[in-house]
Structure 1
């Protein structure tokens, strides 16, 4: 496959821009980025299942599972977070289990279930805001 030097420079620039965005982000913003990436992957997986694109489905579900396990669940402090952190861990583990079944059985309904279960968590995180205060009605 041929690639132009201009394409390689543009791709490198995008990678540096994304890396810089992560390096300069607050902990709150990093979690928000994880949720954004998670829902992007879940929606892409849903579409791939509907189109019968097995390889794409697996790639997007794999990315979603990694975000759940290596990003969201790994970032929980179970000691300081108490019951809330424990419940989130259970929810993330459940979501991974459902996505694994969705991958094996090409079940778009399970992907939609995970989206529905995690959207309120992501929305709550967004509403907390970076300062830990709710943005509505304060």
Structure 2
């Protein structure tokens, strides 16, 4: 990755909202795991392991940062799902089974789409709440040159 692109991505992560950061994490995990499969297929084992570890680290971080006080049952379900994904990735690493990685990618992709929809809905509600209230009056009238309406 070029220096400029790395700085841009760091800046993007540092200035992102919590919702956008969550989406970036999902996208990153999916990208790393897809790359792990490609590197394995190309017989680049050290690269494969590096990308697998990166994807695994993101899933572990998603699990570790769950807020059970605010998230309630959803947080518990996500904790269990992330645990399942971590088990699949560990098995993929031990048995060199790429199908396990594909299962995790599919699960992450499903969750990513759900989070994207939720973020769009919340942002849409926030935009609607911030929009000025419509008025019943018509458009403002303007004086024409010469003083008539």
Q: CA RMSD in A?
A: 2.0
| Equivalent in the alignment of 1:3 | none
Pick 1 or 2: higher relative contact order, CA cutoff 8 A, min separation 6: 1
CA 1:92–1:13: 2 relative to 1, 3 Å? same
Counterpart selection for 1:117 from 103, 107, 114 = 107
Structure 1: distance between partners of 2:8 and 2:36: 25
Q: Flag structure 1 segments of 5+ consecutive residues without an equivalent.
A: 1-9
1:13 aligns with 2:13: no
User: 1:11-70: CA deviations, max 9, x gaps?
Assistant: 443332222111211110000100110110110011122222211111011001110112
Counterpart selection for 2:81 from 91, 94, 108 = 91
Structure number, greater radius of gyration: 2
**Per-residue deviation, 1:131:** 5.8
With structure 2 as the length reference, what TM-score do the two structures score? Answer: 0.76
| Equivalent in the alignment of 2:131 | none
Number of residue pairs aligned between Structure 1 and Structure 2: 125
CA 1:83–1:134: 2 relative to 1, 3 Å? farther
Structure 2: distance between partners of 1:134 and 1:90: 30
With structure 1 as the length reference, what TM-score do the two structures score? Answer: 0.81
**Per-residue deviation, 1:132:** 2.5
| Equivalent in the alignment of 1:55 | 46
1:80 aligns with 2:70: yes
CA 1:134–1:50: 2 relative to 1, 3 Å? farther
